[in-house]
Amino acid sequence: MKVGFCIPGMTIGGVESVFANTLDALHEHHPEIEIVVFPHAALSEPFYIDWFKQRPHITVKPFYPLCEKFENAQRYMRGFPLKQIRKIVFSLYKKFKNIQMAHSAELNSCDIIIDYVTGSSYKMLRHVSKPTATWLHCSINYFNDNNMHVRMPYYDKIVCISDSCMNDFRNQYPQYAQRLTRIYNPVNGAQISEYSKTAPTYDGQYFLCVSRMDSDKDIPTVIRAFNKFWADNNQPDCKMVFIGAGNILDAMKQMAANSPAANNIEFLGKIPKPYGYMRGAMAHILSSFNEGLPTVLIEAMATNTINISSNCPNGPHEILLDGDAGILFEPGNADELADAMSKVWNGRIDIAAITKRATKSLERFNPSNICKQIMDLINNV
């Protein structure tokens, strides 16, 4: 059996990490499957270039191999007419490649094609006659705000990554009810736990936030909350550490630099597999406005670290068992987040009991169980 996976790109992020885990799990439990990955452009992230080199059983074939050349050309096109010409030529190139790929032997030799990121490859796949499926890695709010519903008619199966996301989708789009299924992201908790014991960490006492630096992650609330926590607890020797990169990173660094606790806030940038940093933290914080199934919470659970998360749609309350396996706060509420940080700092909650419940719940995300569900999807599409 040959399975094709489409994905926009491979950067250091949550979805990409889950995708890599899925490919590894499938190969481990079903080595007979031939896997082909179709990224939109050629790989450019060094970590994933090396990652795929170490996995010769996976074929990588970009949809738009000249994409990077067009992007580089844009940097030298300062005049308006040149930009327009580039845009027109690039658009024609993509349309040509979409048709070409739809008739390519590589794509059509796949038994099923999985568009792994919320219908992001629907323009490439609408000309393909093979069975298709897509994964919804977002909340229903994000889905609706970005008009993603127009992509769904092109898929035979639609995978939701949480029960709450599936229920929301079924309620708002009942016409797709028969195509829906729920498959959690695979997370090897035992492997993460073992890796975290010897992985690099951070010295001293600190709270940790592992996140893309993008507006939907609401990093400002974490900075405001830490400043309040720091002031409320007599300016303790405690740090707020951020791991991740994105388009608001510089703005967040500036916001932190202008805050009272500036000397206690640090940004470490991109760090693949930051499990040692998770294990050493007093708590891991997620502050998003919207999520699908934030794997970073599951990873922190695997390192025996308590999570403090915004109770945003859709995944956090499901992962954290409605607050029994972590602390939930109202999205955007810096005061509530600061209070949760103070409770952790001062030992006013039973962290051991919470992390024990969290660890016991990790079996839901066992790669072996998830692979069985994926195979059921592949065989029954």
Task: Tell me the whole-structure pTM to 2 decimals.
Answer: 0.83
* Residue 102 near residue 130, CB atoms below 8 Å: no
3-class DSSP assignment, residue 33: coil
What the block records as the tokens of 97 is 């490649």
At 154, the pLDDT band (50, 70, 90 cuts) reads: very high
| Average pLDDT value for residue range 230-250 | 97
Give the pLDDT of residue 60.
95
Q: What percent of the chain has pLDDT over 70?
A: 94
What the block records as the tokens of 122 is 């629907």
What burial class does residue 124 get, using C-beta atoms within 10 Å of its C-beta: 0-12 exposed, 13-18 middle, 19+ buried?
A: buried
Per-residue pLDDT for 343 more than 90?
A: yes
The H or E element that residue 23 is part of is: helix 14-29
What burial class does residue 239 get, using C-beta atoms within 10 Å of its C-beta: 0-12 exposed, 13-18 middle, 19+ buried?
A: buried
Tens digit of each residue's pLDDT (9 = 90 or more) over 68-120: 665 555 555 555 555 666 667 777 777 777 777 777 778 889 999 999 999 99
Give the pLDDT of residue 99.
73
Whole-angstrom CA distances from 243 to 12, 47, 154, 268, 370 are 11, 16, 37, 5, 28
Domains in the chain, ordered, with CATH?
A: 2-186+366-380 (3.40.50.2000), 189-364 (3.40.50.2000)
What burial class does residue 137 get, using C-beta atoms within 10 Å of its C-beta: 0-12 exposed, 13-18 middle, 19+ buried?
A: buried
Q: How many C-beta neighbours within 10 Å does residue 19 have?
A: 21
Q: Which of 71-80, 133-142, 202-211 has the highest mean pLDDT?
A: 202-211
Write the single-letter amino acid at 70.
F
3-state helix, strand, coil in the chain (%, to 5): 50, 15, 35
Q: How many CA atoms lie within 13 A of 257 on its CB side?
A: 7
Cα–Cα distance between 221 and 283 in angstroms, integer? Answer: 16
At 338, the pLDDT band (50, 70, 90 cuts) reads: very high
Cα–Cα distance between 227 and 344 in angstroms, integer? Answer: 15
Write the single-letter amino acid at 282.
M
What the block records as the tokens of 333 is 């509420």
Per-residue pLDDT for 199 more than 90?
A: yes
What is the four-CA torsion angle of 25, 29, 34, 38, rounded to 10 degrees?
A: -10
- Sign of the dihedral through C-alpha 117, 120, 126, 127: negative
Q: What value does the CA radius of gyration of the chain take, rounded to a whole number of Å? A: 22
Cα–Cα distance between 81 and 79 in angstroms, integer? Answer: 6
Decide which of 79 and 128 is more confident.
128
Q: Which residues contact 191 (CB under 8 A, 6 or more apart)?
A: none
Q: How many CA atoms lie within 13 A of 279 on its CB side?
A: 17
What burial class does residue 54 get, using C-beta atoms within 10 Å of its C-beta: 0-12 exposed, 13-18 middle, 19+ buried?
A: exposed
Q: What percent of the chain has pLDDT over 90?
A: 76
Give the pLDDT of residue 77.
56
* Residue 24 near residue 57, CB atoms below 8 Å: no
At 177, the pLDDT band (50, 70, 90 cuts) reads: very high
Lowest mean pLDDT among 75-79, 255-259, 325-329: 75-79
Q: Which residues contact 364 (CB under 8 A, 6 or more apart)?
A: 184
Average pLDDT, the chain: 91
What the block records as the tokens of 241 is 């550490």
Cα–Cα distance between 84 and 95 in angstroms, integer? Answer: 17
| Average pLDDT value for residue range 112-134 | 91
Give the pLDDT of residue 79.
54
Per-residue pLDDT for 331 more than 60?
A: yes
At 246, the pLDDT band (50, 70, 90 cuts) reads: very high
Of the candidates 193, 209, 129, 119, the one whose C-alpha atom is nearest the C-alpha of residue 158 is 119
**Apex 158 CA angle, 51 and 144, nearest 5:** 100
Give the pLDDT of residue 85.
65
113: β partners: 4, 132
Q: Which residues contact 288 (CB under 8 A, 6 or more apart)?
A: 211, 216, 217, 218, 294, 310, 312, 316, 331
